[in-house]
Amino acid sequence: MADWIPKPNLAVDLKRLTLTPEEGFVLSRLDGYTSASQLTAVTGFPPERIQTILTRLVAQGALLPNAVAPNTPSRAAPPPVQQASEPAPDEMPALEAMPEEVEASASEPDESEPVEDEHPDALGNYRKLFETQLHPLPEDERKARARGAEDPELSAFCFDPVPAVIKSVMENPRTGLAHARLIVRHHHNPVGLEAVCSRAAFASDGGVRRWLVRNPQLPGGLFRRLWSGRRLMELHKTSIDRDIPEQTRRTARELLRHRFTSGPAEEKVELILNTEGRSLASLTGMAVDGKTASLLCGRTYRSPMLIQNIARWSAAPPALIAHLLKQEAVRRQPQLRMLLQRHPNAPADARRGEH
């Protein structure tokens, strides 16, 4: 059964719900992209507890109902293991993910999946209303009307290019997540974007963040402030998303490298394994701490692609290189063994074995 991606119900006032601290914590980690199986790594709760919490959140209306029930184990079955044959000397090993790493990568949310927003027709109507009726008004009058406007006029004001009008929209008690998403998607002034993100509830919304990083006027300082506490995996996805402006991707790469030096060992392992080592290309020269090395050495490796990428990582710990040399996948494929033996951190006896 396909993995379930829980999505918060934005139409429900969470203040009126009776949530336990655990339920509130799990709900705070949902961004519309994280799947149910990933919540175990994100929250530290066991899968059974996650299922119970999601079931209660759905029952209370905090989550949107889904075709895949949360109280049903929803882990994709890994493909059957096929016996690999010994490769010819001049061939590279087939880069085929084996069950352990397939399970990790298959559970990644699809960043290309659109966040539920206004229908295109509604967006066109709001824009038309602003351009034909509101934009011709003096700026001071727009500011005053925006503070007390109701929809559809309130949504139309979200297209205003003047930051002062956007600040007035944010002062309107009727302004909600849908309006915040409209602003960060269509408003192109850093001052207005800062006004939206001054509200913690808006800044933490998955839809707001999705459109915010695609806005070419997103200030680097605002990105660092909002994303400095995000998981390494999310920073990596942001840094490689081609729908995001290069300036923001560059900032994400810088923040990823900074966070990698001080981030939790579990997040570093998650990043390396879930990307099959592809993320290591942007972490050149970044060493790992002892706990991270220990966690990496505590796993069985079956993916040739993951092993190759680690073998090409100059900062791979000596203990990890030694551990990989003992793996069955390496013993079966001479090319992998040769890559590891040539690593500068390979054990001396392994290098002698190469000759």
Q: Which residue has the higher pLDDT, 1 or 188?
A: 188
Closest of 16, 7, 30, 189 to residue 115, by C-alpha? 7
Confidence class for position 36, pLDDT limits 50, 70, 90: confident
- Mean pLDDT across the chain: 81
Residue 84, pLDDT score: 38
Residue 59, pLDDT score: 85
Counting Cβ atoms within 10 Å, is residue 88 exposed (0-12), middle (13-18) or buried (19+)? exposed
Residue 123, pLDDT score: 74
Closest of 58, 14, 59, 60 to residue 36, by C-alpha? 58
Task: Find the mean pLDDT for residues 210-227.
Answer: 93
| Contact predicate 304/331, CB 8 Å | no
| Contact predicate 54/97, CB 8 Å | no
Confidence class for position 66, pLDDT limits 50, 70, 90: low
What string of H, E and C letters represents the secondary structure of 81-136?
CCCCCCCCCCCCCCCCCCHHHHHHHHCCCCCCCCCCCCCHHHHHHHHHHHHHHHCC
Could you read off the pLDDT of 175-193 as tens digits, one per residue? Answer: 998 899 999 999 999 999 9
**46-60, 96-110, 259-273, 322-336: which has the minimum mean pLDDT?**
96-110
Whole-angstrom distance, CA of residue 201 vs CA of residue 204: 6
- Structure-block tokens of residue 52: 């119970």
Task: Find the mean pLDDT for residues 116-139.
Answer: 80
Could you read off the pLDDT of 252-296 as tens digits, one per residue? Answer: 999 999 999 888 999 999 999 999 999 998 898 888 899 999 999
Closest of 351, 27, 10 to residue 180, by C-alpha? 10
For residue 8, what are the β-bridge partners?
Answer: 63
The end-to-end CA distance of the chain, in Å, is 49
**Alpha helix stretches (DSSP H) within 228-346:** 232-240, 246-262, 265-274, 290-297, 304-311, 318-325, 328-332, 334-341
Residue 197, pLDDT score: 92
